[in-house]
Amino acid sequence: MAKSVTELARKLLKQKKEGLEDLRVHMFELDGDEEDDDLHEQLHAEFSAEFERVQSELAAELGAPVRTGDDDDDAIPLNGVFRFAIWQANGKSLFVAAAHEDRDCPVILILGTTADR
């Protein structure tokens, strides 16, 4: 990551519009690797560990999240969420989420803002 997560969070919270920043993305080659159950488990574990690191960094700056979970949430504009944390600041919801919508879709770790809900 070029910028720290807290720097990216500050940038997103200052913007008038909602925003998204990819923190990590794993694209499958679509050569059969998307069907590898062991790889999926490994990636989910890696992304969960990275999620934990990011959540800790943001909590040190913003305090404890107002909500966390391990499934889709209406406040997060993504499908396939398997980890999330949400903070409220500056009239917005700031979230970090790990998501994987389907076997052949990328696994992502994303930081974003939405209007408070």
Residue 102: what residue type? D
- What is the tens place of the pLDDT at every residue in 45-99? 999 999 999 999 999 999 999 999 999 999 999 999 999 999 999 889 999 999 9
pLDDT number for residue 115: 85
Q: Which helix (H) or strand (E) holds 5?
A: helix 5-14
pLDDT number for residue 85: 98
Question: How far apart are alpha carbons 68 and 52 in whole angstroms?
Answer: 11
Question: How far apart are alpha carbons 25 and 75 in whole angstroms?
Answer: 21
Q: Which domain holds residue 41?
A: 5-115
pLDDT number for residue 34: 86
pTM for the structure as a whole: 0.91
- What is the tens place of the pLDDT at every residue in 7-31? 999 999 999 999 999 999 999 988 8
Number of domains in the chain: 1
